[in-house]
A and B are shown apart, each in its own frame.
Chain A
Amino acid sequence: MSDHHHTARLPDTVLRVKALESLLVEKGLVDPAALDALIETYEEKVGPRNGARVVARAWVDPEYKQRLLEKASAAIAEFGFTGRQGEDMVVLENTPRVHNMVVCTLCSCYPWPVLGLPPVWYKSAPYRSRAVIDPRGVLGEFGVTLGEDVEIRVWDSTAEVRYLVLPLRPEGSEGMGEEALADLVTRNSMIGTGLALSPDDPAGADKP
């Protein structure tokens, strides 16, 4: 379904949104300034850069990593990343033998404070249906091939528990500082549909 530019499928969608907004504002149920602030927050301020900073810190600071794996929400809050849809976070550590991948088969649960709002594919029927029965096939569509000796664990999010994958630190990144390491951490590597970028692969810098 390549429908990026026409996301409304029902003929009245645009009108209905306008009607609801105008009625809600008229009745004083919502504040127009609050609407703009919400949009600005999630469009411009919260995004996967937050999660990348958490991952980079965990790569360089073993004590931080320990805190992150034990009590993720509190460790993430050390950066000031708190709020809706991130109240109960669990961090899943990838190892050379275990690769974690996150889905929400029922809807779109996703850790907003560290990744922002989810991409369309994450919320789409193909990903939600197939991640749990064919994770290797799904990873293949994302260009990720793992050895047969690597166990893939798929985690189905709920409205209560949200997962963040701690990807493997890439080879060749020894000695890099936190800021530079954060640049290697893609959104998909924190969902588990990608790997962290290699420092030798500048072409990867534009990948999500």
Chain B
Amino acid sequence: MNGGHDLGGMHGLGRIDVEENEPVFHDAWERRCFAITLACGFLGEWNLDMSRYARERMHPATYLDTSYYEHWLIGLQTLLVEKGLLDEAEIEQRMQALAAEADA
């Protein structure tokens, strides 16, 4: 499917930024995002193509303006909600609760 992810041949996206001695993950949240995404894959509710499609459905502008593991995060949430494993309201509530905890 054509979409914002289909980058082959696109112009104007800038130079390649190569980081010397790059770590596997750059932030703690990337580690956790990677792990929960893989672990949820083992639930057997979706396959690799479905998880890619969940990321590819992002709005092209958002896709280009977010980082790689944010694509994973948005795709994972889409699949969890579509499969009825979590619902959006409880995710938002939990985020607010965690934010309140951090502020306390």
| Chain A residues engaging chain B, CB cutoff 8 angstroms | 1-10, 12-24, 27, 29-31, 34-36, 38-39, 42-43, 47, 84, 103, 105-108, 116-117, 119-121, 123-133, 138, 141-142, 156, 159, 206, 208
* B11 (CB) vs chain A CBs: closest residue: A129
Contact of B68 among A21, A22, A105, A108 (CB under 8 A): A108
| CB within 8 Å for A130 and B16 given contacts A8-B27, A20-B86, A107-B52 | yes
Known contacts A4-B26, A21-B36; is A208 also within 8 Å of B21 by CB? Answer: yes
Question: In the complex, how many residues of chain B place their beta carbon closer than 8 angstroms to a beta carbon of chain A?
Answer: 58
A128–B8 CB distance below 8 A: yes
Q: Is the CB of A125 within 8 A of B7?
A: yes
The answer to whether B17 touches A124, judged by C-beta atoms less than 8 angstroms apart, is yes
Asked if A159 and B48 sit within 8 Å, CB to CB, the answer is: yes
Q: Point out the residues of chain B lying under 8 angstroms from A22, CB to CB.
A: 94, 98
CA distance A138 to B32 in the complex (A): 32
Binary contact track B10-35/A, C-beta < 8 Å → 1, others 0: 11011111111110111101111111
A-B contact pairs, 16 of them (CB 8 A): A3-B67, A5-B26, A10-B70, A18-B98, A20-B73, A21-B32, A23-B91, A30-B39, A39-B34, A39-B35, A106-B7, A120-B22, A126-B16, A129-B8, A129-B13, A132-B8
Set of chain A residues within 8 Å of B94, measured between Cβ atoms: 19, 22-23
B101 to chain A, nearest CB (A): 10
A122 → chain B, closest Cβ, in Å?
Answer: 9
**A19 and B34: CB pair below 8 A?**
no
A14 nearest CB neighbor, chain B only: B29
Smallest CB gap from B1: residue in A? A106
CB neighbours of B24 from chain A (8 A): 42-43, 47, 116-117
Q: Is A35 within 8 A of B32, CB to CB?
A: yes
In the complex, chain B residues whose CB is within 8 Å of the CB of A29: 40, 43, 85
Contact (Cβ within 8 A) A126 B14: yes
State the Cβ distance, B32 to closest chain A Cβ, in Å: 5
